[in-house]
Amino acid sequence: MYIVTGGAGFIGSALVWELNRHGIYDIIVVDNLGTTEKWKNLVGRRFSNYYHKSVFLDMLYDNKFRNIKGIIHLGACSATTERDADYLMENNLHYTIKICTYALEHGIRFLNASSAATYGDGTQGFDDDIETIYSLRPLNMYGFSKQLFDMWTLEHGYEQSIASFKFFNVYGPNEYHKEDMRSVVLKTFLDIMDGKPSRLFKSYKPEYKDGEQMRDFIYIKDIVHILYTFLQQPSWNGIFNIGTGTARTWNDLIKAVYTALDKECVIEYIDMPEYLKEKYQYYTKADTSHFMNVTQNTFSFTSLEDGVKDYVQNYLMHECAIL
């Protein structure tokens, strides 16, 4: 049995899809569906049962689940704009600690979602070594909550027994429900379909032209392939950057969407909200040397153009935003 928390969310439901592709159906999905549309991500997927996150911990500690082979903890508040610090502490930190502790005590493979948001403005670099992790200064409470778990892991030496992943900018099917946190690929596609120009934030740093702010974009199919492979490799442990190792501009991303649609690119640069100006990352690029060393260069990554093309042409153009 595998347990996937956040299993109806973006990465979680994509992982259920990946597990199903490999003939794995004994899966427990944990999430908080509420009144959201996330349930659609589970349509067509095969899994054993679904439990709300509020009851899951008690069930876990009461040993209600048998023969657990792995727990993939992807459930968290992922909104970088969330301002309720107490909620993030409880939901993203303490909840994670409890699941991780149980997994370690019972010899269960444990994978965890950290975040590239821990790197803040990038002035400390994007190296996932131990000393860098302690020196990071996240720009928002979401990133800080993720960093706190990373530090808790290091302080107890658990990084030698679990795998935690700092995901960079993930895009692809199953993200439609994320509202403002949806990728720019999806937002751009919807604008184009509505006959609107694509919009990007203006730059407020002279070293970056408008739209030339850079991110490490990684396709969701690459992410879940990595997670599945790590489940099969219990000796691959540590805190890892998960990105392509290549930084591309927002302009590149927008142009890739237009190219996939065979349309002429039209971009409008808009003012950035005041509350974002001091918290905006102008550059991210995963240092993947540690990841590649541990995995012995097992993985290759989908190019930005190929990933966007697959997402747009095989999903969005068919009014299907789900794997």
Active site residues: 142, 178
| Residue in the structure block whose two tokens are 């509350």 | 275
Q: Which residues are 269's β-sheet partners?
A: 200
| Tokens describing residue 25 | 């159906």
Q: Are 16 and 323 in contact (CB under 8 A)?
A: no
Q: Are 2 and 49 in contact (CB under 8 A)?
A: no
Contacts of 189 (CB under 8 A, 6+ apart): 257, 261, 312, 316
Question: CA–CA separation, 95 vs 41, rounded Å?
Answer: 23
Return the HEC string of 113-164: ECCHHHHCCCCCCCCCCHHHHHHCCCCCHHHHHHHHHHHHHHHCCHHHCCEE
Q: Are 210 and 249 in contact (CB under 8 A)?
A: no
Q: Provide the 10 A C-beta neighbour count for residue 300.
A: 8
**What are the Cα distances from residue 119, in Å, to 41, 107, 163, 191?**
30, 31, 18, 30
